[in-house]
Amino acid sequence: MEKAFVVKVPGINGLGKTKGCEGSGNAVLKALKEEIYTSEEGKKIDFRKIDLEEIHLDNSDLVKSNKLIYKNAFETYETKPKTIFLGGDHSVSYNLVRGFFDYCQNQVPVKEPCLIVFDAHPDLMTPMKEPTHEEWLRALIEDGFPPENILLVGLRNSYPDELKYIKEKGIRTISLNKLLLNIEDACDVIMEFSNGKELYVSLDIDVVDPAFAPGTGYSNEVGGLTSRQMLYLIQRINKIKHLRAVDIVEINEKIDFEKFNGITVKLGAKILGELV
């Protein structure tokens, strides 16, 4: 069996709100190694079979960091069948997904990219020159990613301008109410939406209710998914044939261990354990 490929991406650009997320990759991997023994289906997790790399970043130099993330991600898509990226805050997803989009465009024949984002927020604010964790998705769309190939799952706090942008661009969404009404139907929608496309999944841990994942920058966004629901969703997604990449972002290990006994890091490790 081929080794699972995991890349640490300790980037942060959250205007000071996400300091502490840069260490989450190491924390999640430590929890996986020491506390997670099998997947929930009983598959043994052998840490030695994880092909582990890190993109070494200097968060004081955003231009250089973004170039490094893009370059490494693009090369990864060319050589690895599936990659799990461990952030970092959500700003890292801009260059990770931009590299994914360009990889798809460069294939012969061209491959169609698909992006599914689990997040409490749409991250569609007007982007800065170096997109932060609140604007990365809009920057990506403005750089050419097809908005009709984006599905947002779990939104529960959006600015009016972001909702207007979603409508204008025809971005698909699955509301939490619809998901909770029938999680099986929601999974079927996800499977159908991604069918025939190359799939990238971006998972902001704040899509999970803070009762289950409080160690993040927005720990007051009540009304989210349970950890059980998130794990089930990722188990279903992991069965999709053309799943090429997943990023797990916005876990703030500093806050999590200081205040919450590492429960968010442990959830991140559980999610990673289902993917490897």
Amino acid at 109: P
User: What's the pLDDT at 218?
Assistant: 78
For residue 207, is pLDDT > 60? yes
Give me 163's structure tokens: 């909702």
pLDDT for 189? 94
Other Cβ atoms within 10 Å of 212 Cβ, number: 17
Q: Which two tokens stand for residue 235?
A: 């188990």
Q: What is the tens place of the pLDDT at every residue in 77-91?
A: 999 999 999 999 999
Residue 132 predicted with pLDDT over 50: yes
Amino acid 2: pLDDT: 61
Distance CA 67, CA 57 (A): 10
Percentage of the chain exceeding pLDDT 70: 99
Domain ranges of the chain: 4-275
Rounded-to-integer distance, Cα 88 and Cα 103, Å: 22
For domain 4-275, the CATH class is alpha beta
Proportion of the chain above pLDDT 90, given as a percent? 90
Mean pLDDT of all residues in 203-230: 94
Please tell me the predicted confidence (pLDDT) of residue 1: 45
